[in-house]
Amino acid sequence: MPTVYITAPPSEADRIAETLVEDRLAACVNRLSTTSTYRWEGEVHRDDEAVLLAKTTADAYDDLINRVEAIHPYDVPCIERFDEAHVLESFAEWRTESVE
């Protein structure tokens, strides 16, 4: 099953997480605080951001990333898919029911 790794400004992160869960695109979103160091237009920057780890299903993945792109404030958001090699069966069932 896919875990989607998204970064967002701290002020927007809760809104994105809630939208994904309310619209049944993710069963659960874990939000973590991060400091990001990155290159943008030739300069190195450092900013506080949030990492969102959205727990979804293969079927819902395309709709989830389309929704994140639509509501995300960045032109080039970090949206990455990591596939789990195994998930506890009861947790997999709950995820599937939560995004149906």
Q: Specify the 3-state DSSP secondary structure of 2.
A: strand
Query: Among residues 11 and 37, whose Cβ is nearest to a second copy?
Result: 37
Considering the complex, what minimum distance in angstroms separates the CB of residue 15 from a second copy?
10
| Among 40, 64, 42, 60, CA closest to 52 | 64
The single residue listed with the structure tokens 């989830």 is 64
Query: Residue 47 CB, nearest distance to a second copy (Å)?
Result: 10
Contact residues for a second copy, defined by CB under 8 A? 1-3, 5, 7, 14, 17-18, 20-22, 24, 27-39, 44, 46, 49, 51, 53, 55, 61, 65, 69, 75-88, 90-91, 94, 98
Closest distance of CB 74 from a second copy, Å? 9
Q: How far is CA 7 from the centre of its chain?
A: 7
Q: Report residue 38 as tokens.
A: 């990155």
